[in-house]
Structure 1
Amino acid sequence: MFHKKEKKQPMKKILILVLLLCFAMPHKIYALSSSPYVKEYIENKFQYEPFMQDYKVNNDYLNFSTAKEFKPEKFIWDENGIPMVKYGAKTEYNPVTTAQGALYYHGKYLTTKSSEDREAFIKLTDALIKMQSKDGSFRYSFSHRIPHLKTRYPIGWVSGMAQGQALSVFSRAFDVTKDIKYKLAGNASLTFLTTPVSKGGPMTDLSHISTKWKDQIWFEEYITAPRNNYTLNGYIYTLLGLYDWGYNPEMTLYGGEKAKALFQKGQDSVKKILSKYDIGGYTAYDLSHLTLKQEPHVVGEYHRIHISQMYVMYRLTGSNYFLDSYNRWKSYVEPV
């Protein structure tokens, strides 16, 4: 009897301990909660769900009207109502900010049909046209340094993302107004988008990952030399611009077929390197850890953007490459 009691006592203590732990533990348990990146994601309450949608040409772009925090207080507004971004002590116009503002108001207009939202959309779209150079590029009017890329961009630098998001804006502007100037602006933006890096544009290839992929296209958000960095989110935004232009039947005579072919080639390219953004429990912002031989560059908030972008790309292409990445990447930040 003595020995039997001794065996039961530890079991009773273990049972009590388990019960205490159950009550003490939070309601949500995360598979990789020890990861500093996942902790940051949870603490900041980042969400990927608001940006997920069954994407359509000229729709509310990635639910921007409700999901995008385009808050007036985040910007400095000029006398014409165009947002400016603060960089250090200076305020500058940013073509991507202007494009995303236009997309935000376009989404609102689709719901409200108000003249105010329509006017705001067109005003920002026309401001974007004023930022466009004769060669179709959107050249940044300020110098900008990106520390992890060890690059300072001189005045006049360009970005594939700016070119791509402009396509999404101009497609929607023509849909709303039927003004041919938006077709012309979009076609010019597309032309510059396909200008190779060697000639001052943003188009390059995957040869800096593998020489066997030298025929696979890529559009750089941030151009780096002598090796590419392959920023993921900006590239996907560019693909969405190509989709908007290529699958809008109104653009057939204004580069539509070219944009459609580039979208197909472009989505094939990114599928080849998707797995390389996965650093085990989170995603890297770019592939500078491979091409520049440094620590992975991780920006906490962009993991949610990557997740929602994979979902949208899956809906557009039906490819399991995107579906698998979506399911895997969201599992890193979901309760289990």
Structure 2
Amino acid sequence: MTRKRRAPRALLGTSFALALLVLAGCSAVPTPTDTAALTPPSVEEWSWATTGWSLNTEADAPYMDRPPANLTSRDLDDTGLAIYYERNSDKVRADHPVVYAQYGISALIEYERTGQKQWLERAARQAEQLVTMHTERGDGWWYPYSFDWTYDDRTLTAPWWSGMAQGQALSLFSRLAQVTGDEQWATAADHTWASFRQEPSASEPWSTFIDDEHLWFEEYAGDQPPLMVLNGQIFAIFGLYDYWRLTQDPEVARYVDGGATTVLSIMPEIRNAGDISYYCVQVDFCARARWQDQKYHAIHSWQLNTLAKLTGDPQFSEWADQLESDWQPAA
């Protein structure tokens, strides 16, 4: 029997938790009389389930076997910046942090493969735009979505945030720092890492939260309940792993471990036996055909195989094999 995920609760902070209850159509709980109860736990008090992996320093970095962007199909402007148009718009251009980060990562991989300087310049151009567009919360740098995003019957109101965007920006900055030795990219990576250590908020950027003692990096963080998306969770982990390779910081490794432990914990809910896997695990929302997608099913398998290499744990590959046996595209 599949265990149903409880509504996200721990470490949310009272005001944020109340907002989620209202959005989910639940009755708000009474306001606590103890004002101390309104203060969310500090980062130092955060704890979550871990497995205790020793991360593999010899593994190929994520994406080396599968660059995240097609460098020939994405249009660039005169400055070399990837162009994104808002969905369902008449070519209204907008900043899209994942588009920039994915193109930048792919361009950097191409630079390392060919040595052609144009690819390094294009990778740096995407990183420059991420730095330009960032907003700050304390030491954390955040890369906002400035347009609303509708899925199913829900709409995230701009600005909203994404653990996936934070993670892929972190991958780009960390790799640029390693390849170029330029301190500006190490600084950008440090500030992006700081964003992962900030608690949820009803009024400020957030993506990290704890559910049922498991560490999450929410892909769609804003004024809707967390979807708890598998691919976004793992892309965030990839960014943290890249930053760990840069810094060898054991605290970063703890976040990688916690995030990957969460992945294993939800795989029974992600898997749809004999069919396409589910995109997300939000209780009473994701386990339906609307959230089955052939493209993401293949991404799930690839991501799980990558986590097996990074952690040395064959359980990830076993789940990848299981998904592939459940469904594969017709030959």
* TM-score (normalised: structure 1): 0.72
Please, which of 147, 150, 162 is the counterpart of residue 151 of structure 2? 147
| Counterpart position of 1:218 | 216
Please, which of 147, 169, 172 is the counterpart of residue 172 of structure 2? 169
8 Å contact kept, 2:266–2:281: no
Find the aligned partners of 1:333 and 1:124 in 2 and give their Cα distance: 36
8 Å contact kept, 2:216–2:259: yes
Pairs within 5 Å for 1:1-336: 59=61, 61-65=63-67, 68-72=69-73, 74-75=74-75, 77-87=76-86, 88-89=89-90, 90-135=92-137, 136-141=141-146, 143-148=147-152, 150-198=153-201, 200=204, 201-206=206-211, 213=212, 215-223=213-221, 227-248=225-246, 251-252=247-248, 256-280=249-273, 281-288=275-282, 290-292=283-285, 295-296=288-289, 297-334=291-328
Shift in Å, 1:320: 3.2
* Structure number with larger C-alpha Rg: 1
Find the aligned partners of 1:112 and 1:293 in 2 and give their Cα distance: 42
Q: Deviations over 1:126-175 (max 9, x none)?
A: 2222122233111112x222322x33222221111111111111111111
SS at match of 1:292: coil
RMSD: 2.5
Q: Structure 2: which amino acid aligns with 1:237? A: F
SS at match of 1:301: helix
SS at match of 2:234: helix
- The runs of at least 4 aligned residues of structure 1 exceeding 4 Å deviation read 54-60
Going from structure 1 to structure 2, the CA distance change for 1:63 and 1:294 (only over 3 Å counts) comes to closer
Find the aligned partners of 1:216 and 1:80 in 2 and give their Cα distance: 42
Find the aligned partners of 2:130 and 2:223 in 1 and give their Cα distance: 28
Find the aligned partners of 2:65 and 2:85 in 1 and give their Cα distance: 26
* TM-score (normalised: structure 2): 0.73
Find the aligned partners of 1:96 and 1:293 in 2 and give their Cα distance: 23
8 Å contact kept, 2:199–2:208: yes
Structure 1: gaps of 5 or more residues: 1-53, 207-212
8 Å contact kept, 2:144–2:161: yes
Shift in Å, 1:193: 2.2
Going from structure 1 to structure 2, the CA distance change for 1:103 and 1:327 (only over 3 Å counts) comes to same
Going from structure 1 to structure 2, the CA distance change for 1:147 and 1:134 (only over 3 Å counts) comes to closer
Find the aligned partners of 1:60 and 1:217 in 2 and give their Cα distance: 20
**How many residue pairs get matched?**
265
